[in-house]
Every structure is written in structure tokens, then in C-alpha cells.
Structure 1
Amino acid sequence: MRSHLVTYRVPVNTHDGDARRPPFNAAAARRLREALGMTHAHVAYGIWAAYGIQLHPATVASWELGESAPTEAELTALAGALWCAPAELLGTPGTLREYRLALGLAPADLALRIGMDQTTYERLEGGGPWRGTERQAAALAEALRLPLPALLRFTGQEEQLAALLTSAATTRWQGYVRPVGKLAPLPKERLQDVLQQLHEEYHATMTASLSWTGGGAPDESGKAGRDFLDGIVMEFWRRAGEMEPPR
């Protein structure tokens, strides 16, 4: 990565519900427990013995039924009791916190790896803006094995990418190969192909929408164009072969 990252201030990590409780794959927890021949009591005892967290077996059962979900600490302990990685008990990660949990890293450990103060990192994970450096961004991507789209999202650069792609699609795409490449360091030929495709499809969409209405409904044409541009970042990643796993 060559771009400077300090100035972007877009919130990148919001949560629904109780932020202490990560998304939980109840079916996976039950499947893993049964494969080990363990009862809910066995799991509860294993969590207490290894992690000092006291749980009733009924709590473990309620997790598997989807009636409740473990906290971050409980999920880590459950993974230990079931001899699996935390990622196996999570859905596909979507937030920065979920990527960290999937690898079983504590906030302090990750902050140390990327050379960031723990308080600053936790503020980012809680929804604050990215205030890190280029080097810290690269370290974050390596530590969490982040796909490129996720990295740009978490470092607050997605809006800038959207603005560049919009200009490339609506004006002369050739002038945007280099600035887009600074944000998304992909092979130049691939970038050129994707930007040209987006440019051509945008103008084809505008032309087609006018044809459908006999050329007399510019509002319809504008709506079709806006709809295309609203999804241009996702379309860019899809055509570039860099999509994140579905969440």
C-alpha cells in the first residue's frame, strides 16, 4: 500500500445489539460438541476448569438453541472446551472485532502487533474513525488476514474509492487508473479492464433507460445511473476478483 491513511474519519465498525456478544453459530457449537461425545455438563465443566468461568449446563444448551449467545470471553472459552478455533463458532466475519475474534486474538495482543495503543485500537473497533498510519494498516491486514475490501473499509478509505470510481465511470476512466491503484494496489491491466467495464456499463445503463422510455424521461435515466453508482464499489471488487466472503 502506498497511500497515506491518517486523514480519513469515516466510522467503520458499527454493531447491532449487545456489542459484547459476537455473532454465534449455534448449529456449529452443537455439532462440534456431539462429535466429541460431550454433554452440556461436560462443556460447562471444561469452561470452568480451564478458564474459570462458571456456567450452568443449561446456559450451554441455550446457546445451542439460539436462545442466547456467549460473550466474547465465553466464546473463547467455549472454543477451548470444544477443541476448535473461535472462527468455527462464528459466522463469516464482517466487523473488525469479528475478524479479531475469529483468530482468537485479544485487543491488547492485536494492538501490540500493529504498533497501536490499545485504547486507540479499541476505540476503532467500537466504531471510531481510523487514525493510524500506512504501516499500521499493513500490519492490521497481515495480522487479521484481511481481504483488501475489508482493509479499505476499516481504514476509512471506502468513500474515497467510491468517489474515484464514480468519476471514472462518468467521465474519462483512463485518468483514474493511478489514483484507484493507490487505494487498491491491483495489477495495472486488471484495473484498466475493470474501470473500462464500469465506464461502459454506466453509459450503457443510461442509454438503455432512455430507450425504454422513448428518450423522454430523464428522471428515469438519472435513477438508473444513480442505482448503478450506488453499488459501484461492490461491483468494482466483484469484477476485480476481490470480493469479501458473503456475510
Structure 2
Amino acid sequence: MPVNTHDGDAVRPPFNAAAARRLREALGMTHAHVAYGIWAAYGIRLEPAAVASWELGEGAPTEAELTALAGALWCAPAELLGAPRTLREFRLALGLAPTDLALRIGMDQAAYERLEAGGRWTGTDRQAATLAAELRLPLPALIRFTGQQARLVELLTSAATTRWQGYVRPVGKLAPLPKERLQQALQELHEEYHARMTASLSWTGGDAAGEAGRAGREFLDDIAAEFWRRVGEAAP
């Protein structure tokens, strides 16, 4: 299935305007100093007013401008970004070019760029592991970027609604976590789901079965986030 690895503006990454201003002021630089530094080191001509507009949140730098701005402010690109959510944002946070990252993971550059644009993951397990290492991806992000999110949700849903014990190994293949942690998380999901269903059925009056169904669906709709929270992994 297609994997949404990219959202938002196709050219301009999310930008932390307050961080840019704070870093510039800490260096004692004016907007003109920053604009000159970007031009001198990266050959990108900007008016000081453009730098000021970024800091005011009236505009945002392109990917190339963000990299140049980080260089001018003597910081890592990650310091000028919010928390990364997409594959592209994780790459930008480390200041890597698509060409370099594709080479490191052994993937054709065009295939990698299609992946960033929301394409389907076609790489191997080894390439997935290398991608995770190069971009320092948390496990939830890796599973999402490599197209395994739907399968994980399917397994978690079955574990919650049927016998959870039979899903420890399949879930563990997707999310290689300690067995004890997986067992505890799946058992908790199973118990929580059935507790909500039972509580809804015990209500007097109204459509008890309908309420139970809604309570169960609401829990299952967010089951991946519940799973990551219970195993101690933050979902991006």
C-alpha cells in the first residue's frame, strides 16, 4: 500500500522561527550579517528582510535556505526545525542530502525521492535497518515509513479482540522489542478493550450493544498509539 512519508509543503520544511531568532541574537548577528553569511558560504542571495520575515513567521526558508541558514548560525539544521514527523524532516534534521542518504542505504536516488514524496517502500530489511540507523528513526517511525503500519494495526486489533497470546511473535517480527514488554502490552490492550466493551454493555437504558460497539471502535481506532505508549515508544 502507498505509505505517506511526506506531508505539508513540498518545498519548505517546518521552521522554528523563535529558535532562529534566539540563535542569531546569541551570536550578536544582524539580519544583514546572516544574509551575507548565507551568500558568502552557499551562494544564495537573500535580502536581510527575508531573514527577518522568517523570524516573524511570515515566511519560511526552502530546504536549501534552511541548510544555509544553519551554516550561517553555526548550528545543526535540527535546531531550526520542529520535532520531525516525516521522512524528509528526519533527513533534514541531520543535514543530509537525498543523494547522500540514498547512497548510504544502497537505494536508487529516484526511488528514495519517490519514497519521501509519499511513495511505496520497496527496500529490503537490510536497507530498512540502515535507514533507521542513518536517520536515528524511532521504531514507530520506521514501521510507518516502511509500509508496515497497516499490518501492525491489524495484528494489534486481533490481539485486543481475540487471544492476545497468539500475536506476541507476529507483532515482535514487526516491532523487535523484548518479549516480556510485548506480552505485557498486548495483554493490557486485550484487557482494556474488553473492559470498555463490558462497561458499555452494563449501562442501563438506551442501545447498550450500540454503545459497546462504539466504545470498542474508538479504542481500536487509536490502538497503534496505545501500543507504542505501553511499550515506551513515542509515535511521531
TM > 0.5 fold call: yes
Structure 1 residues not aligned, in runs of 5+: 1-8
Give per-residue Cα distances to partners, 1:51-78, cap 9 Å, x unaligned: 0000000000000000000000000000
What is the correspondence of 1:64-213 to structure 2 with a 5 Å cutoff?
Answer: 64-213=55-204
CA distance in 1, matches of 2:19, 2:207: 55
Structure 1 position 213, deviation (Å): 3.8
CA contact (8 A) 1:181 1:191 kept: yes
Give per-residue Cα distances to partners, 1:144-179, cap 9 Å, x unaligned: 000000000000001100000000000000000000
Structure 1 position 230, deviation (Å): 0.4
CA contact (8 A) 1:53 1:74 kept: yes
CA distance in 1, matches of 2:18, 2:135: 25
Q: Give the alignment partner of residue 230 of structure 1, picking from 221, 224, 236.
A: 221
Aligned residue identity for 1:98: E
Q: Secondary structure at the match of 1:212?
A: coil
CA distance in 2, matches of 1:216, 1:107: 55
Aligned residue identity for 2:43: G
**TM-score, normalised by the number of residues in structure 2:** 0.98
Give per-residue Cα distances to partners, 1:24-44, cap 9 Å, x unaligned: 000000000000000000000
CA distance in 2, matches of 1:34, 1:181: 48
Q: Which residue of 1 aligns with 2:52?
A: 61
Q: Which residue of 2 aligns with 1:12?
A: 4
CA distance in 1, matches of 2:4, 2:179: 28
CA distance in 2, matches of 1:126, 1:212: 47
CA distance in 1, matches of 2:51, 2:64: 14
Aligned length: 236
Structure 1 position 12, deviation (Å): 2.3
What stretches of structure 1 move > 4 A for 4+ residues in a row? none
Structure 1 position 215, deviation (Å): 8.2
Give the RMSD, CA atoms, in angstroms: 1.0
Q: Which residue of 2 aligns with 1:6?
A: none
Call closer, same or farther: CA 1:215–1:240 in 2, change over 3 Å: farther
Q: Secondary structure at the match of 1:78?
A: helix
Aligned residue identity for 1:79: A
CA contact (8 A) 1:26 1:64 kept: yes
Q: Give the alignment partner of residue 49 of structure 1, picking from 27, 36, 40.
A: 40
Higher normalized contact order (CA 8 Å, seq sep 6+, divided by chain length) = 1
CA distance in 2, matches of 1:85, 1:213: 59
Percent identity over the alignment? 80
Call closer, same or farther: CA 1:60–1:175 in 2, change over 3 Å: same
Structure 1 position 217, deviation (Å): 1.9
1:37 to 2:23 alignment: no
CA distance in 2, matches of 1:28, 1:74: 15
